[in-house]
Amino acid sequence: MATIANAFGIENALEKLGVNEINKGTSTGSNWFSEGEMISSHSPVDGKLIGKVTTTSREDYEKVIKTAQTTYKEWRKVPAPQRGEIVRQFGNKLRELKEPLGQLVSYEMGKSLQEGYGEVQEMIDICDFAVGLSRQLNGQTIPSERPGHVMREQWHPIGIVGIISAFNFPVAVWAWNTALAWICGDVCVWKGSEKAPLCSVACQNIIAAVLKENNLPEGISSIINGDYKVGEMMTTDHRVPLVSATGSTRMGRIVGATVAERFGKSLLELGGNNAIIITPTADLKVVVPGAVFGAVGTAGQRCTSTRRLIIHESVYNKVRDAIVGAYGQIVIGNPLDETKHMGPLIDKDAVNAYLAAIEKAKAEGGTVLVEGGVLDGEGFESGCYVKPAIIEAKNHFEIVQHETFAPILYLMKYSGDVENAIDMQNGVAQGLSSAIMTNEMKEAEKFLSFSGSDCGIANVNIGTSGAEIGGAFGGEKETGGGRESGSDAWKVYMRRQTNTVNYSDELPLAQGIKFDL
């Protein structure tokens, strides 16, 4: 194991999480996976090999799905509050293992240690939310137009929920789905990112221990490992009625079309191209940390990362200078060191995409305010560390319209009323997160109105990044339209059923139709 890993206790963390040098599957808590190809997980922090995971063959996949089918028939019979009790215990296990799991997230994915801990806290929070929700899966009673009749609406489990998650949140997004799906009575099959496979193994080990302690079948939670070909096994499988997929818009188009073709349901959480509007009355003490964290947190690899600052011309120079000055204080390096603000990109493919985007922005006429580039030398041996860049640009630039998963921030001006800024904010294909910085109530309300931001998330005087689990998370347009986490997002994991009960001695028909025999 690497020196960095030793210094920051990663070996000890892996031991606590049951993650070995060679992980032969743990598809459902058992070593079911055949002796096949291996995925090697290298840390972007130092380039060192962390461990390997066996990929899922078609034969392995069939075993997982058949176990999930059998388990579902029993799990759905367990009363919802009792299912909530299992989620409560899972949340408590996460509390006990927050430190080692957060360290693994940071080391395998590259985000700062504080963000790694924060991701595990999101898992704990959604478990708490789901426990309360397990006693509130309410339907409703509906007045009937017919005498002696009552109508009701109730919700039933949907079955097997397939989850495809991305590398940037290698554990939290899975938990958003599973915690809700489990209390709804569903079972889950998870394909984590092949770029962070050990995180999924660790999570599976944690829930497998909870299930074993409660004498419950392991098929309530399963994992499958591999690239997009393994994901295709789920998206084309009619036995999986719901596929929740997080990733790029390109991936979402394929998943959505494939699942729809077989009349399945999909929950899509795709790309973002998020902007902060900065008005003349904005408070720089709020603007600067909100914009900078949004742009460089997780090295710009959040779907909610801030990509664009739309600044009123009257304050443009002041805001620009403040943001550029703040970038000079960003410390880049080993994310396990809590004095560092920004760690590496996930891999060298991401680095190449970052460099290409900068060159594209220059070619389109952008002016570089803060130079980017790849860092090398001591501490940067992995080749995945880059400098955050700021570029003056126009909203219509092709590269600005495109989401680049990297710390590149585009600055642009608007003039006139806030409606002009809102038009710019909305003038991209994605619709995930948005924000406005203003102390003018009218501007804030216009931004939040039906004619304001077209995003699924719209914030006032906070940045675009860092959503709480209590609200539904997701976006519109090419972001996919899905909703996860809080509010009534639980309904996607269930099927709706309308019941009509006749307790009279007659059989009147709806709409006054007569059918006399």
> Catalytic residue at 476?
no
* Tokens of residue 193, six digits: 């990112």
Q: In what order do the strands lie in the sheet with 38-42?
A: 22-23, 49-54, 38-42
Q: What pairing do the DSSP bridges indicate for beta strands 306-312 and 367-370?
A: unpaired
455 an active-site residue?
Answer: no
Distance of alpha carbon 427 from alpha carbon 330, whole angstroms: 30
CA dist., res. 271 & res. 477, Å (int) = 10
Torsion, Cα of 172, 276, 366, 251 (10° steps): 30
Residue carrying the six token digits 């799905």: 65
Query: Which of these, 224, 220, 217, 178, lies nearest to 200 by C-alpha position?
Result: 224
Beta bridge partners of 39: 53
d(CA 410, CA 501): 59
> Tokens standing for 488?
């009534």
Strands (E), 143-212: 149-157, 160-164, 187-191
DSSP string, 357-411: HHHHHHHTT-EEEE---B--STT-TTS--B--EEEE--TT-HHHHS--SSSEEEE
Torsion of CA 235, 238, 240, 243, to 10 degrees: 40
DSSP lists the bridge partners of residue 156 as 495
Collapsing DSSP to helix, strand or coil, 349 comes out as helix
Interacting residues of 510 by C-beta distance below 8 A, sequence separation 6+: 145, 146
DSSP secondary structure letter of residue 342: B
Q: Which two tokens stand for residue 308?
A: 């664009």
The active-site residue out of 218, 269, 403, 478 is 269
Among the options 303, 403, 455, 484, which is catalytic?
A: 303
CB 41 within 8 A of CB 8: no
In the block, tokens 């038009």 appear at 423
Residues marked as catalytic = 269, 303
